[in-house]
Amino acid sequence: MVQATRQMFPMAEIIVIEDDEGKGKGWAIRQGIKSAEGDEVVFIDADIDIHPGEIQNLLPYLGYYDVVIGTKKLDRLPPRRKLTSFGYRIFVRLLFRLNISDTQTGLKLWKKDKLPDFESNDFSYDIEMLVRARKAKLRIKEVPINCRIYSKVALSSILQTFVSTLKIWIKNIK
């Protein structure tokens, strides 16, 4: 994944964060942000579900938007993943009134000066950042992307994400 990304974007600074201690994806993203230089930041999962070439589909929108989010097409997901994703999308929309269909896709572009602070260490960091982006009235664009789901999500991870999402909701209902 890193080599393919480096070949496609030779001028990009590629930061890989290893989380050997299990501190969480949100923690890893914060570490990467601290190290990042430049005006734009791209988050892309390293599990190869999303090919780095998909970044090209989002780049044209960064001139007009503060955040550009890749959105998985549900019709291309395996049935169990489709049901889980659909249910979670509804859950997030009801809780946060976010007009974003897919908060969990592992491809996002941010203008670096618009990146909000966040505290979540797990998968819910995406939602926390997007809720804060909406509160700051940032311009957000979703762009459909292709992805191939290779990994399975454990039930414990799904439950943990739901619980973390509720914690963010409780923290933000003030």
| Rg of the chain over all Cα atoms, to the nearest angstrom | 15
- pLDDT value, residue 148: 77
- pLDDT value, residue 25: 87
Q: Model confidence over 39-91: pLDDT tens digits? A: 999 988 877 788 888 999 999 999 999 999 999 876 767 777 778 888 888 99
Mean pLDDT score, 147-168: 78
- pLDDT value, residue 57: 94
Q: Model confidence over 4-39: pLDDT tens digits? A: 777 888 788 888 888 889 898 899 999 999 989 889
Q: Model confidence over 93-122: pLDDT tens digits? A: 899 988 888 888 889 999 999 999 999 888
Domains and CATH numbers, the chain: 2-172 (3.90.550.10)
- Mapping DSSP onto H, E and C, the string for 14-45 reads CCCCCCCCCCCHHHHHHHHHHHCCCCEEEEEC
**pTM tops 0.85:** yes
CA distance 104 to 161: 10
pLDDT band at 130 (very low <50, low <70, confident <90, very high): very high
